[in-house]
Structure 1
């Protein structure tokens, strides 16, 4: 079990469409495959993308745990990600909610409840990942202030570069440091790790079957947690991780 102070990371989308949810799923999968227990929270209320990866009925979802079901145990909202025969666990707390509850889940009180849920998860999971939208709402602020590590995710484009600068400024205002900048679908000079484009037609996760994805996601794990997860070939962090580190 990691120290609680280092167990949680917010993966912050610098802009919409950065691929933050996909990267969060891939990172959680690689850590679980290494024998770690991982919890994922979906704070990206507008897109609710984490639910697309999960089977079955979702009730309660994260927004309910922050509002109407605030007294319910976290376990009630966790859905096991179907990874098959892996030594660890990937438990997800997705968002699937009507607009009215989404609005209430963005309140300051709900943001405080999110902080409490994240803190509770660090007591029972080796790692906690929060899929976090751009820093412009209460749940985003709660996510980055309740976690020890912050990873900014942006597409490898001019828009992505500008969004990284904007996001870094907002995090500075919150006295939150950036542990790593990750670009998707290519490289930027501002990135610590560059993740190659992943086939949108192939269902995530692909890090257990595709070496280039595994290598890049392992580099993200190293940047976020100083972790050295197995990539499925009996080795630790692949020797080729350096290919994906910009500085």
Structure 2
């Protein structure tokens, strides 16, 4: 059965799109799915930071130099999602509880990253219209192998971003949970409409330290189809937070997953006890 393909499209640079893609994929694996995260942000190549070890070949190589290679050649386990991997937790389930490294959460499914990590010359060739058409086919290929596919896309303004936003089953904007981010999401909606696509939902990501009520945050935006995601430890080594904890972030990410994919998760979160409810 063909998997659901989802593009997370950043409304601004630094919106948290890559981290959100990683966390959504981990939540899907927590529910038992095998999930691929495909990097369509060739300029920043942020997904490569979530892979341990050497990346060779990467996705851009499959779009340019090695078009006949199977997608699996550029698929790498996401760091922190394997039973033998070292995972830097922060006292949540799956860590040792003292902030030190421990065993990664035992997920029912798996997460593979298909990252871009290449020199500028190959990035330039991977950003052509021809390469974008190949990217569309690679996304379709991933959908035949995995239960779900999450594509990490930059703000629409390049061939690969347009391909990602218009070739998937669903497209979701990722924006900062700020007034500026809300305006940027509106502009993104217009851009995607210009290239024949549409947005199905929006994830508003809080910034670390904002507390949801500081500066230019818009905690009461009330927009339909917007899921607010609380801030989490921004360090790459702390990801994926949603894989092992049961707190507010994981619950929000579960809601984000269900909204983004228009699907229901079977992940259950324990009810808070009486003491927990009154503990800050």
Output the TM-score relative to the length of structure 1. 0.89
| 1:41 has 2:38 as partner | yes
Separation (CA, whole Å) in 2 of partners of 1:120 and 1:233 = 33
* Counterpart pick for 1:106 among 92, 113, 127: 127
Taking a change above 3 Å as real, the CA distance of residues 157 and 100 of structure 1, as seen in their structure-2 partners, is same
Cα RMSD over matched residues? 1.8
Q: Structure 1 runs of 4+ off > 6 angstroms? A: none
Task: Quote the Cα distance in structure 2 between the aligned partners of 1:233 and 1:161.
Answer: 30
Matched, 1:132 2:153: yes
Specify the SS of the correspondent of 1:169: helix
- Equivalenced residue count is 233
Q: CA deviation at 1:231?
A: 3.8
Secondary structure in 1 matching 2:62 = helix
Matched, 1:12 2:9: yes
Q: What does the per-residue CA deviation read over 1:91-150, in whole Å, with 9 as the maximum and x for residues that have no partner? A: 110111101111111000100010000001111111000000000000001101110100
Higher percent of residues as helix: 1
Determine if the alignment matches structure 1 residue 92 to structure 2 residue 113: yes
What's the counterpart of residue 75 of structure 1? 72
Contact 1:215 1:231 in 2 (8 A): no
SS across alignment from 1:131? strand
What is the distance in 2 between the residues matched to 1:137 and 1:14? 14
Q: Which runs of 5+ in 2 are unaligned?
A: 84-105, 207-211, 213-218, 272-280
TM-score by length of 2: 0.79
Deviations 1:188-231 (A, max 9, x none): 44461000111224611111225111111111111111222244
Pair member with larger Rg? 2
Q: Give the stretch that moved more between structures: 219-228 or 16-25.
A: 219-228
Q: 2:241 aligns with which of 206, 222, 230?
A: 206
